[in-house]
């Protein structure tokens, strides 16, 4: 059994894209795909998909949806200082491992 991967970003985090066609844009992480080291970010990396009519989509046609972005191209936005930042890890007194902002030194996880 493979161990669960840990990433510097999690679901519902706000991130900024640091490389690629959407460089500089911000969005909220909707889903993490661990097997491929990718994340789906709301309203970013939009692609057009040509769909045949089917049970879910009776009309068919061209649909726009988000495509996965590699996690290395995303940077977490700190909730306190609202800047893109690197993430550090710290163990609190109650033995919880939390992420913290390297710029303002504030804990990101609740």
Q: Residue 2: which CATH number?
A: 2.30.30.30
Whether 3 shows a pLDDT value over 80: the answer reads no
Same domain, 46 and 29: yes
Same domain, 92 and 50: no
Residue 1: per-residue pLDDT: 56
Task: Report the distance separating Cα 65 and Cα 101, nearest Å.
Answer: 31
* Number of C-beta neighbours around residue 45 at 10 A: 20
Whether 82 shows a pLDDT value over 80: the answer reads yes
Domain that holds residue 26: 1-54+61-77
Whether 94 shows a pLDDT value over 60: the answer reads yes
Q: How many domains does the chain have?
A: 2
Same domain, 65 and 95: no
Q: Which pTM does this prediction carry?
A: 0.86
Task: Report the distance separating Cα 100 and Cα 78, nearest Å.
Answer: 9
pLDDT band at 6 (very low <50, low <70, confident <90, very high): confident
Task: Report the distance separating Cα 47 and Cα 49, nearest Å.
Answer: 6
Same domain, 73 and 93: no
Task: Report the distance separating Cα 80 and Cα 18, nearest Å.
Answer: 20
Mean pLDDT of 63-75: 96
Q: Do the beta carbons of residue 66 and residue 43 sit within 8 Å?
A: yes
DSSP state of 4: P
């Amino acid at each position: 059994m493979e161990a669960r991967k840990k990433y510097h970003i999690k679901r519902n985090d706000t991130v900024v894209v640091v490389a690629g066609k959407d460089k500089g844009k911000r969005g909220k992480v909707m889903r993490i795909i661990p097997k491929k080291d990718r994340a789906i970010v709301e309203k970013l990396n939009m692609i057009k998909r040509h769909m045949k009519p089917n049970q879910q989509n009776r009309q068919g046609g061209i649909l726009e949806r988000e495509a996965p972005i590699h996690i290395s191209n995303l940077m977490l936005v700190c909730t306190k200082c609202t800047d893109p930042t690197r993430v550090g890890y710290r163990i609190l007194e109650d033995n919880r491992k939390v992420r913290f902002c390297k710029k303002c030194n504030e804990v990101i996880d609740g």
